[in-house]
Amino acid sequence: MDKMLGKKRYIAIFVMPALLLFLCFVVAPLVVTGIYSLFEYDGIGTMKFLGLSNYIELFTKDRYFPKALTNSLVLAGASIFIQIPLSLLLAIILARGIKGEKAFRTIYFVPVVISSMVIGQLWMKIFNSQYGLLNIIIGFFTGEKFEYSWLSTPSTAFIATVIPAVWQYIGYHMLIFYAGIKSIPTDYYEAAKIDGASNGQVSLKITLPLLTPVIKTCLLFALTGSFRAFDLIYVMTGGGPNHASEVPGTLMYSSLFRRGLYGYGSAQAFFIVIECLVFSYVISRLFKKAEENASVI
């Protein structure tokens, strides 16, 4: 008994620093944000209790919030249906041991380690109306000079930010999938090859089912990352033109640091947290049965 208590004591000692950091820098700010969201507060004067009025205003009076919410859902959809499948496909191809596997693995991961500010500046040059690479390529195929303001036109501004947002983290998810595939015992693949299974059948019947927990993790990262998107969009468009590329993160920044609406901005921030938690729960429930089946294999 004394030995067991001693082990628990050592575990508590090692866990305590991380727990304290988590409480100070994650839980405490969330609690404070949730409290501020219930008040009318400008950061200086007195706080006036409003209850849920800030949240009600988000959906009934804020004319920009529905557009921002829609944009975040579009970005989440692009992450799920474009980013994740591309990452998985690249991981499957690389895991087969192609020539230059290590080099490609590094190249695909390079955008992940580059700052989003740098990525934003890079793609702003690509989408530039006068000397942008995209207009040059289009002009090459049309045979005449092509000029189009991708980032300053409301109909294309947000899509122009979605493309680099999806592109930047393909390598991130690819590396997670790659590690998951490499951890699958080779016995399954050898048995499938003996039975005459093709590469496609092996991927569908063995790799994907056993990768279910990894796929769930990547989906969670992609969804929560989309809902929390801010820096790349802020660099490229600032939420413009005419709020066409707003997402909840840019609206929150504007409310807090430009308009001084700390209570209302906190409500927007806390909504992002709630949104991430709700969708994380939904994804976990959807994958629960699939994970159970994968553990049986």
Structure confidence by residue, pLDDT tens digits, 31-43 = 999 999 999 988 7
What are the backbone dihedrals phi and psi of residue 159, each rounded to the nearest 5 degrees, phi first? -60, -35
Question: Between these two residues, 1 and 120, which has the higher pLDDT value?
Answer: 120
Confidence band, pLDDT 50/70/90 cuts, at residue 292: low
% of the chain exceeding 90 in pLDDT:
60
Length of the chain: 297
Instruction: Assess contact for 150 and 127: CB atoms under 8 A.
Output: yes
What are the backbone dihedrals phi and psi of residue 172, each rounded to the nearest 5 degrees, phi first? -65, -50
* Domains defined for the chain, CATH in brackets: 63-296 (1.10.3720.10)
Structure confidence by residue, pLDDT tens digits, 120-169 = 999 999 999 888 899 999 998 888 888 889 999 999 999 999 999 999 99
Tell which residue, 121, 151, 124, 126, has the closest CA to residue 136. 126
Whole-angstrom CA distances from 297 to 36, 103, 113, 185, 206 are: 49, 33, 36, 12, 9
- What is the residue whose two structure tokens read 């016995």? 187
So what's the pLDDT on residue 145?
Answer: 84
Its pTM stands at 0.90
